[in-house]
Amino acid sequence: MSDTFKGHCHCGAVEWQVELPSDSQSHILCHCDACKLQSGGEYTLNQLAPKDAFKLTKGNLKTYTYKGDSGNSVDCFFCENCSSSPYHHQHVLGDKIVVRTGLLEGSKSWGQPVLEIFGKDKLSWQPQTAKDIAPGPPGS
Ligand SMILES: [Zn+2]
Ligand SMILES: [Zn+2]
Per-residue model confidence as pLDDT tens digits over 68-122: 887 899 999 999 999 999 999 999 999 999 999 999 999 999 999 999 999 999 9
Give 6 Cα–ligand 1 centroid separation in angstroms.
Answer: 15
Give 34 Cα–ligand 2 centroid separation in angstroms.
Answer: 6
pTM, full prediction:
0.94
Give 57 Cα–ligand 1 centroid separation in angstroms.
Answer: 13
Q: Residue 16 CA: which ligand is closest?
A: 1
- Domain 2-59+96-133 class in CATH: mainly beta
Give 75 Cα–ligand 2 centroid separation in angstroms.
Answer: 13
pLDDT exceeds 90 at position 138? no
Q: Residue 120 CA: which ligand is closest?
A: 2
Provide the residue ranges of all domains of the chain, joining segments of one domain with +: 2-59+96-133
91-to-11, 47, 96, 107, 109 alpha-carbon distances in Å: 28, 16, 9, 26, 31
